[in-house]
């Protein structure tokens, strides 16, 4: 795997927000700040079409600062808000879709989102993000004294997303960007309706949070999926194999080449996690999700996970335990 932008790579390593940069002819990357010290920015992309109108991929977190950053970036590339024709989000999360509502309301920008993620937003109601309750904590076997500490959210400061997309995207749809052929590819896993966008002629693929260069994305973070979300996610990784030789434009971190290597590493990470869960269950077949999670290897260590990070670890563990218990693991461990 090879970074394709020194500026983005260095900024990611330093934990700071990098400046606007050009990716390819007519394509710019605009890092948009978000209030998360682990992921300080989202990568938005600006595409200029054959009519000199601008299309935004993943506009970013909704804030006055990010709206101003977008306005400045538009000025740098010789455009303005009245030339922005569309904004498409790869998935429903606030750090990718949040600013879309303001663009829609203030400037009449047409908003695109997968139909599956729009359904998830509709079902989500007043919550600003995925939520878990005492019912989940009891199912996981969380000790009573630990439950209050799991209630914090990753999305502190996030507003409820009430935006409804103008365009509900389906697999193999083509974005309405004159002069470019950018197609929609369903890649469920991170959320139920996550999509990747491929510009085969320009040899670019926008992966949102489906594939990232520096971390392994969380799974099942929006909307219900049929089957096991981990297995669904790994299958979605395989579905991107036709783009292994193009440049990857992810939702965080830095642009890179070497998608095949990163896909393989990401799938292997989840297979290892399932294998760890299988080993724990082999000695303790009735272990609770809490007990299994506490015995798995976590980068920060189990004791280093607090609040939403421990809650996410528990949710992920339940998925891996599900793979073991429903036989998915046998099919994948034989690969």
CATH number, residue 98: 3.60.15.10
Per the domain annotation, does 321 fall within a domain? no
Residue 292 domain-assigned (yes or no): no
184 pairs with which residues across the strands? Answer: 197
Full-model pTM: 0.92
Backbone torsion region of residue 220, taken as left when φ is above 0, otherwise alpha when ψ lies between -120 and 50, otherwise beta: left
Tell me, yes or no, whether 113 lies in a domain.
Answer: yes
Query: 61 is in which domain, residue-wise?
Result: 2-265
- Does residue 217 fall inside a structural domain? yes
Does residue 326 fall inside a structural domain? no
Give the rounded percent of residues in the chain with a pLDDT score beyond 70: 93
- At 87-134, the pLDDT tens digits run 999 999 999 999 999 999 999 999 999 999 999 988 875 444 556 777
Higher pLDDT, 253 or 134: 253
Closest to 53 in 3D by CA, of 101, 87, 23, 22 = 87
In a domain, 332, yes or no: no
Q: Would residue 335 count as lying in a domain?
A: no
In a domain, 119, yes or no: yes
Q: What is the mean pLDDT of the chain?
A: 91
Structural domains counted in the chain: 1
Is the distance from CB of 54 to CB of 48 less than 8 angstroms?
yes
Query: Is residue 330 scored above 60 in pLDDT?
Result: yes
Helix 259-283 vs helix 229-238: angle between axes, to the nearest 10 degrees? Answer: 150
Half-sphere exposure of 51 (CA within 13 A, CB side): 9
């Amino acid at each position: 795997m090879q970074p394709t932008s020194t500026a983005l790579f260095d900024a990611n390593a330093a934990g700071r927000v990098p400046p606007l940069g050009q990716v390819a002819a007519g394509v710019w990357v605009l890092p948009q700040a978000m209030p998360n010290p682990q992921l300080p920015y989202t990568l938005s992309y600006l595409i200029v079409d054959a009519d000199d109108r601008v299309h935004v991929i993943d506009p970013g977190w909704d804030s006055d600062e990010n709206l101003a950053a977008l306005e400045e970036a538009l000025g740098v590339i010789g455009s303005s808000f009245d030339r922005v024709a569309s904004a498409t989000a790869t998935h429903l999360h606030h750090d990718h879709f949040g600013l879309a509502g303001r663009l829609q309301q203030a400037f009449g920008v047409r908003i695109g989102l997968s139909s599956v993620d729009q359904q998830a937003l509709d079902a989500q109601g007043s919550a600003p993000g995925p939520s878990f309750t005492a019912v989940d904590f009891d199912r996981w076997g969380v000790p009573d004294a630990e439950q209050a500490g799991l209630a914090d959210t990753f999305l502190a400061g996030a507003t409820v997303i009430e935006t409804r997309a103008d365009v509900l995207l389906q697999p193999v749809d083509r974005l309405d960007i004159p002069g470019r052929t950018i197609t929609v590819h369903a890649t469920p896993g991170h959320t139920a309706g996550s999509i990747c966008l491929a510009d085969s002629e320009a040899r670019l693929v926008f992966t949102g949070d489906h594939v990232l260069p520096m971390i392994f994305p969380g799974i099942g973070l929006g909307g219900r999926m049929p089957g096991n979300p981990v297995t669904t996610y790994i299958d979605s990784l395989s579905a991107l194999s036709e783009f292994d030789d193009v440049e990857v434009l992810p939702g965080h971190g830095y642009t890179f080449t070497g998608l095949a290597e990163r896909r393989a590493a990401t799938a292997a990470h989840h297979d290892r996690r399932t294998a760890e869960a299988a080993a724990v269950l082999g000695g303790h077949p009735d272990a609770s999700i809490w007990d299994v999670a506490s015995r798995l290897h976590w980068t920060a260590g189990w004791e280093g996970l607090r609040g939403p990070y421990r809650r996410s670890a528990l949710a992920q563990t339940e998925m891996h335990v599900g793979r073991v218990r429903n036989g998915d693991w046998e099919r994948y461990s034989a690969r």
